Amino acid sequence: MSYDFNEAKECLVNSYNFLEPVISYGNGVYLYDTNNNKYLDFTSGIGVNSLGYNHKTWIESTTNQMKTLQHSSNIFLNNTTVKLAKKLTKISEMSKVFLANSGAEANEGAIKLARKYSYDKYGKGRSTILSLVQSFHGRTITTLKATGQDKFHQYFFPFTEGFNYINANDLDDFKAKLTSDVCAIMLEAIQGEGGVLPLNKEFVQSLVEICNEKDILVIFDEVQCGIGRTGKMFGYNNFDINADIVTVAKGLGAGLPIGGVLCSKKVENVFNPGDHGSTFGGNPVACAGALVVLDTLCTEKSFDEISKKGAYVKDLLTKSNNHQILEVRGMGLMIGIKTKCSPSLVQKEALKNGLLVLTAGKDTVRLLPPLIISNDELKYGIDILLNVLNSINQ
Ligand SMILES: Cc1ncc(COP(=O)(O)O)c(C=O)c1O
């Protein structure tokens, strides 16, 4: 049974701008629609399918787990979840992890953790979280408020209190808003949804130094730019600093829902039984897949390859001197192309030509290809994109 586009939309809430093809299956770095049209995927399901589609080891690992233990609740421990927690904390150089199911859920956990840390140590009234203008942290009532974009602060009042926003890369703005009620700051090393906007290293280093002095917790939201995407384990590893709390999701799941709140030593014992929880969090099948992600993508060799592939794409784009390209930004395989023409138009035209890309912010085409993609596949996709850009008269 296969559905056409309009039929497919009928019983789904109208909360997404669905694109036309109904996807049928995926293989490698390609997706196929119900008419068997083939698309090179530069979206990875918005940063999720880091291993592409139908990855042999990932399928084996999740299938074996599926046949053994599908779920056991968090009242009991199970070997696979513990194995992931051990490996993830080791690679991340963090102390402990709380496992959840999504990016927003991970960020909710991080916010609760930061507020409880401050409450335990300083009492009431020190609970404000700073975040950055143009950030994106999720779709729950609290993570929407943590998101520094006014367009997300409509309709759903009242939002959670205790958030304030600073301009990215503006240390003076940070200092001005660092009032005595602040307990933490939440940042993306590269703002993804906001427009593929990387933070600058000096800003981050100075900010972290001040935070450490004042016992303000530094939370990095690595939901989109973490797990190897930028050519390092985490986007913030590009800045030579340490974080107190790190959130992960998307790419760790590679196709199954997972999220995590990684805790440094400082915050590892803040939660006590009953303070936080999640029925599905740390599901063993998702953890079995995540273990393959860590083994395959989170090694120095793989980070190096991802960095080189990213540099290759940037080189192809900048050397093309394409008249529609105003700027190429990003790190590793998280790349933003600021275009003269509308990024949504580029996305639609690319799709017609067998290439899937994302947009970000108002003026940016966003590329998040699977991290296992080859240089030939990258070249093939960039050629399509450049031809599409050339064909647009805007
Ligand atoms: C940086 C960042 N944080 C949080 C989220 C929310 O993640 P999820 O959709 O899994 O809740 C996203 C999703 O795009 C994201 O990019």
Structural domains in the chain, CATH included, are 5-54+300-391 (3.90.1150.10), 57-297 (3.40.640.10)
Provide the pLDDT for residue 235: 98
pLDDT at 10 over 80: yes
**Residue 103 CA, ligand 1 centroid: distance in Å:** 5
Nearest atom of ligand 1 to the alpha carbon of 105 = 11
Taking the centre of ligand 1 as the mean of its atom positions, its distance from the CA of residue 294, in whole angstroms, is: 20
**pLDDT-derived band at 327, boundaries 50, 70, 90:** very high
The whole-angstrom separation of Cα 66 and Cα 369 is 27
pLDDT (mean) for 71-78: 95
Task: Give residue-wise pLDDT tens across range 87-108.
Answer: 999 999 999 999 999 999 999 9
pLDDT band at residue 173 using 50, 70 and 90 as cut-offs: very high
Angle between helices 375-391 and 343-352 (to 10 degrees): 120
Measuring from atom 9 of ligand 1, which residue has the nearest CA? 103
Please state the rounded mean pLDDT for residues 63-83: 97
pLDDT score for 3: 85
29 CA distance to ligand 1 centroid (A)?
Answer: 22
Residue 1 pLDDT more than 80?
no
Q: Write the CA distances from 181 to 111, 237, 322, integer angstroms.
A: 14, 28, 49
The residue ranking higher by pLDDT, 250 or 20, is: 250
What is the signed CA dihedral for 198, 17, 103, 75, rounded to 10 degrees?
-170
User: Which of the residue ranges 5-19, 313-327, 359-373 would you say has the lowest mean pLDDT?
Assistant: 5-19
Q: Whose CA is nearest to atom 7 of ligand 1?
A: 103
Structure confidence at residue 178 (pLDDT): 98
pLDDT at 5: 86
Picking from 386, 391, 394, the residue whose alpha carbon sits closest to that of residue 365 is 386
pLDDT at 7: 85
Average per-residue pLDDT for the chain: 97
The Cα 73–Cα 280 span in angstroms is 7
Give the tokens for residue 73.
């609740």
Give the pLDDT confidence score for residue 169 in this predicted structure.
98
Per-residue model confidence (pLDDT) at position 18: 92
Distance 41 CA to ligand 1 centre (A): 19
Determine the atom of ligand 1 nearest the C-alpha atom of 191: 1
Residues 284-302 have pLDDT tens digits of: 999 999 999 999 999 999 9
Question: How close is the Cα of 104 to the center of ligand 1, in Å?
Answer: 6
Across 219-240, average pLDDT: 98
Q: Residue 309 — very low, low, confident or very high, per pLDDT cuts 50/70/90?
A: very high
364 phi/psi in degrees, rounded to 5: -125, 135
Q: Name the region of 100 (left: φ>0; alpha: ψ -120 to 50; beta: rest).
A: beta
Distance of CA 38 to the CA centre of its chain: 26
pLDDT at position 96 is: 98
Q: Which one of 199, 219, 224, 252 would you pick to mutate in the ligand 1 pocket, going by the greatest count of ligand atoms within 8 A of its CB?
A: 224
pLDDT of residue 325: 98
pLDDT digits (tens, 9 = 90+) for 136-161: 999 999 999 999 999 999 999 999 99
pLDDT of 393 reads 85
Average pLDDT over residues 300-324: 98
Residue whose tokens read 């991970």: 106
Alpha helices in the chain (DSSP H): 5-9, 44-47, 56-68, 79-92, 103-122, 141-146, 171-177, 201-214, 250-253, 284-297, 300-319, 343-352, 375-391
pLDDT (0 to 100) of residue 126: 98
Tell me the pLDDT band of 234, cut-offs 50, 70 and 90: very high
What end-to-end distance do the CA atoms of the chain give, in Å? 40
Q: What's the mean pLDDT in 101-116?
A: 98
The pLDDT tens digits of the residues spanning 333-380 come to: 999 999 999 999 999 999 999 999 999 999 999 999 999 999 999 999
Q: Which residues line ligand 1 (CB under 6 A)?
A: 46, 102-104, 107, 136-138, 188, 192-193, 221, 223-224, 249
20-41 pLDDT per residue, tens:
899 999 999 999 999 999 999 9
